Amino acid sequence: MGRAGAAAVRALRRQPAVGRRGAGDGRGLSGVRCVATPLLHGLAWVVARLPQGALLALGRALAWLGWPLLRSRRRIARINVDLCFPSLPPGERRRLADRSVVNTVIGALELLRAWHAPSSRLHGLAGIEGLEHLQAALARGQGVLLMCGHFTHTELATRLLGEALGRPARVVVRRHNSACLERWFERSRAAVFGPSVGKKDVRGLIRALQAGEPVVYSADQNFTYQNAFVPFFGVLAATLTATPELVRRGRAVLLPFWYRREADGRYRIRIEAGWPDWPSDDPVRDAARYMQELEAVVRECPAQYLWAHRRFKTRPPGEPPVY
């Protein structure tokens, strides 16, 4: 796939950087956000030390209190669930969408826990299957692209994985538009994961893989460039096709990385062996395989997926918008 893959990576590199709005000069909304960061730090300290049941209860309470403010996200989630689960009764679809929004709020608290919890607070919080696949690849000196999806507790699962592995996994993130908040986010992440890799920092991602590091990565959001329309729950979704080339250039191996929160509040983490015949010589087929595997995992715990994202914003030519 050489030419197609190289073109995909070049296109990723040409994408404009995010996070330049509100350059952190202390004026306007950016200044307000800078004032707010000590409050966030205090909240993070408290959340990181809550018992798991209390954290989940607090997240549900915050979702209830902020429900009117979440109208736009609720609408997007309901549209997505209607598209992806047409066989469910309307009432059940609405409840599923609403539960996913509540889990998104809980996920914000889980994010703070991931960044700021002492290791003692995380002991016994996760069960991990398939860790040997990751350990074997790292023992060979090979970088690992831990391919996952946008579930509501990705960074907490990553922190729990790092605790079990004895070394952190790097994370790929979208930079925040506020430079002030981004500085706080990055300091928080770097303390537990090492420096994060920006979503558009293709060279940084490849370097991390070439250095033999594990990197948590997902490509299940709407992409407007170097994409292909492949099925996701029977709906064509614009999906990035550059991932196989990133793995090749990083001289890495891809391992599926899945996780869910169980009813008792503990987390189940699963690392699978790589997919057979992936990557292939067809990047579109590889993107479709990723969506197929992700869909199967989402069906296990649909309310924990980030349905509030405009996954189907980009449509094939001639199709009307869905949002």
Query: Lowest-confidence range among 6-15, 76-85, 197-206, 221-230?
Result: 6-15
Q: Give the three-state DSSP class for 82.
A: helix
Structural element, H or E, at residue 112: helix 90-116
Nearest to 81 by CA among 68, 100, 104: 100
Whole-number Å distance between alpha carbons of 256 and 284: 18
Q: So what's the pLDDT on residue 131? A: 98
Nearest to 59 by CA among 23, 94, 97, 106: 106
Block residue for tokens 């404009």: 16
**Is 60 exceeded by the pLDDT of residue 8?**
no
Mean pLDDT to the nearest integer, 163-183: 91
In this prediction, residue 181 has a pLDDT band, given cuts at 50, 70 and 90, of: confident
Q: So what's the pLDDT on residue 26? A: 42
Q: Name the pairing type of β-strands 143-148 and 227-232.
A: unpaired
**Is 80 exceeded by the pLDDT of residue 296?**
yes
In this prediction, residue 182 has a pLDDT band, given cuts at 50, 70 and 90, of: confident
Domains of the chain by range and CATH? 2-14+22-304 (3.40.1130)
% of the chain beyond a pLDDT of 70: 89
Mean pLDDT to the nearest integer, 165-177: 93
Q: So what's the pLDDT on residue 17? A: 45
CB atoms within 10 A of CB 53: 10
Q: Give the three-state DSSP class for 222.
A: coil
Question: pLDDT tens-digit profile of 10-65?
Answer: 555 555 444 433 344 444 445 555 766 778 888 899 999 999 999 999 999 999 99
**Is 50 exceeded by the pLDDT of residue 227?**
yes
Q: Is 71 left (phi over 0), alpha (psi -120 to 50) or beta?
A: alpha
Residues 6+ apart with CB under 8 A from 286: 241, 243, 244, 278, 279, 280
Q: So what's the pLDDT on residue 69? A: 97
Question: pLDDT tens-digit profile of 131-151?
Answer: 999 999 999 999 999 999 999
Mean pLDDT of the chain: 91
Tell me: cis bond preceding 320? Omega within 30 of 0 counts: no
Q: So what's the pLDDT on residue 33? A: 59
Question: pLDDT tens-digit profile of 232-277?
Answer: 999 999 999 999 999 999 999 999 999 999 999 999 999 999 998 8
What is the edge-to-edge ordering of all strands in the sheet holding 143-148? Answer: 126-129, 267-271, 252-261, 143-148, 214-218, 170-173, 197-198
Mean pLDDT to the nearest integer, 194-216: 95
- Residue with the bigger pLDDT between 179 and 311: it is 311
- Residue with the bigger pLDDT between 182 and 77: it is 77
Whole-number Å distance between alpha carbons of 147 and 20: 28
Q: So what's the pLDDT on residue 12? A: 57
Question: pLDDT tens-digit profile of 90-113?
Answer: 999 999 999 999 999 999 999 999
Q: So what's the pLDDT on residue 19? A: 40
Q: So what's the pLDDT on residue 42? A: 86
Residues 6+ apart with CB under 8 A from 317: none
Q: Residue 42 is encoded by which pair of tokens?
A: 């205090």
